Amino acid sequence: MNTNKTYKHTARACYLSFVSQAIVINLAPLLFVIFQDWFDVTLERIGLLIMVNFTVMLIVAALMVRLADRIGHRRLMVCAHVLCAVGLLALSFLPRAMAGAPYAGLVIATVLYALGGGLIEVLASPIADALPGERKAASMSLLHSFYCWGHVLVVLLTTGLLTLFGTERWYLLPIFWAIIPAYNAWCFLSVPLVPEMAESERMPLKTLMTNRLFLLAVLLMVCAGASEQAMSQWVSLFAEKGLHVTKVMGDLLGPCLFAVLMGFGRVMYGLFGDKIRLTLSLMLSAVLCVACYLVAALSAQPLIALIGCAVCGLSVSLMWPGMLSLSARTFAGGGTAMFSLLALGGSVGCAIGPWFSGVVSGASEMGLRAGMLAAVVFPVLLLIGVAWMGRKRGGRTTLGDAAPSPPV
């Protein structure tokens, strides 16, 4: 390990991890229309591609519940970024090389970078949470905001490069984006990591799995992941095919503004989250999310529908990092297993949400509007779950009065 590096370098590497994750999750959706044109991929198969991505991440989260601490965080984080880079390179080459079965090439590439993205989701949060510091909730929210800024960067640069060089050279984009995870793999070879918790200090997995409040937190992660990704994964294609706006306008006012508002919400949560009652914030977020999906699905005005898509980013911004930071404070000694289980729940939601919307879209004459309308079920379930949790805890749960952060 390079002794000249400090925990600031570790934090930066964690931030860049979420930028890498944003690349592997959000680059392909910007190319869905191109995949349709080049490889004759149907909406249902595109939806299946999204589900493959998040299902692989789900499997990784499940495996890491027991394996992460045994294998070691450094090895896994280096491996995660290598897989992200290799998967992106495969996205560029395999569909074109496998002329007889280009969809199989897309699936293979998706599996590769999804393995890396899943490892990042499980490991980056506990690595960052273990770093010295007092404001754990703020740090966690700031960490996850880099996913949003990475999303913005992917949309802006990808849209700009496609406009500048044309869609016929789309295959150069995954090669370009592979540079970031490749560089961060090198960073994780040398940044200092806080020593991992001894097995005797960890909360037993059985204790976590039998705690009703923790199981509810996992369920809320399912709803949060579905609420976020059902919109995020489809908004680019929805804008171009469903609302009939240009690709540049659709990407800027859809996924780009979605990510900006989600990042803004997470930064604000990091600054002021200790003053906000978490259950109330989540309930208001769910209500706003329901409204956004309804506006996107039912508005006859394309601009208003796009605004609904974008504001949805703000509505989901508190859901994921809020549950992670609250769980880390509440379940002292939960360690990587706790983060893995929460990531598992989130990945389930991320897989189910876009897939469900795609199936409904393909079966309905309304197309993608029907998929957006059907996705309302996820924030509604989140609202019900958070309301129940608030009653169980007397409505007094805030990040400010939660238990002290554990020495994860």
Say yes or no to pLDDT of 394 above 60.
no
Q: Is residue 210 assigned to a domain?
A: yes
Q: Is residue 402 assigned to a domain?
A: no
CB atoms within 10 A of CB 149: 19
Structure confidence at residue 395 as a pLDDT band (50, 70, 90) = very low
Q: Is residue 333 assigned to a domain?
A: yes
Q: Is residue 351 assigned to a domain?
A: yes
CATH of residue 382's domain is 1.20.1250.20
Say yes or no to pLDDT of 237 above 60.
yes
Rounded Cα–Cα distance for residues 29 and 356 (Å): 16
Please tell me which residue, 248 or 32, carries the higher pLDDT value: 32
The neighbouring-strand residues paired with 161 are: none
Q: Is residue 328 assigned to a domain?
A: yes
Please tell me which residue, 258 or 185, carries the higher pLDDT value: 185
Structure confidence at residue 111 as a pLDDT band (50, 70, 90) = very high
Q: Is residue 276 assigned to a domain?
A: yes
Say yes or no to pLDDT of 400 above 60.
no
The residue-averaged pLDDT of 288-296 equals 94
Q: Is residue 405 assigned to a domain?
A: no
Rounded Cα–Cα distance for residues 386 and 379 (Å): 10
For the chain, give the percent of residues with pLDDT over 90. 32
Alpha carbon distances (Å) from 372 to 63, 230, 237, 305, 321? 32, 8, 12, 11, 24
Domain span at 313: 8-191+202-392
Domain count, the chain: 1
- The values of phi and psi at residue 42, to 5°, are -80, 165
pLDDT the model gives residue 404: 36
Sequence letter at residue 207: T
pLDDT the model gives residue 136: 67
Highest mean predicted confidence (pLDDT) among 48-52, 188-192, 256-260: 188-192
Q: Is residue 408 assigned to a domain?
A: no
- Global pTM reads 0.77
pLDDT the model gives residue 201: 62
